[in-house]
Amino acid sequence: DVLRKNMVMIFQKPALFNASIFDNVAYGLKIRGATKKEMHTKVNNALEMVDLPNYGSLSVEGLSDGEAKRISIAQATVIDPKLLLLDEPTSSLDPISAKNIETLFSTIMTETETTIVMTTHDMAQGQRLAHQMGVLIGGSLLQKGTSNEIFSMPNSEPVAKFLETDNM
């Protein structure tokens, strides 16, 4: 139960309630019994972190994909999780929005004690963000290591094909 309270999942398609952005971001705090003052402070800080400081009173209707992703990041990080699970966090985003989201995750990794585990099909993104990588094919972990280790020395033909490299 303690583990579940300290981890959050951000899905490929943001899961937002039909409510104000403030209420969406505050939900995790509310169910954990936070005071109104604590919710107000933490939600405003989270919205500022994702560069949407004046969005609290707005509805989630009509948000762009990039805004919805940033709201879901605020929603997830407002409770200060120890583990953040990300499923294709930049899919369906334009290159500028994707770069902004990557920068945000880099900031979260360096400024908090949050461990981030991310799935991605974007090999370049994995190389830019990951301290450690794993290559999953057919439900099996075929190789793990640093991005440099994996990309410079794939340990099998399936891994090399997946990474689109001839190096073995």
Average pLDDT of adjacent 10-residue blocks, the chain of 168 residues? 84 93 97 96 96 95 92 95 94 90 90 90 87 92 94 91 73
Q: What is the pLDDT of residues 55-82, one digit of tens each?
A: 999 999 999 989 999 999 999 999 999 9
- CB of 163 closer than 8 Å to CB of 122: no
Phi-psi category of residue 115: left, alpha or beta, with phi > 0 → left and psi -120 to 50 → alpha = beta
Please give the pLDDT value at position 111: 87
Of 137, 95, 100, 102, the C-alpha closest to 116 is 102
Burial string for 67-84 (b: 16+ CB within 10 Å, else e) reads bbbbbbbbbbbbbebeeb
Query: Quick one: pLDDT at residue 135?
Result: 93
34 contacts 80 by C-beta, under 8 angstroms: no
What is the reported pLDDT for 112? 87
Give the Cα separation of 80 and 8 in Å (integer): 9
3-state secondary structure of 153: coil
* Residue in the structure block whose two tokens are 């403030």: 22
Task: Give the residue from 121, 163, 117, 114 showing the smallest Cα distance to 142.
Answer: 163
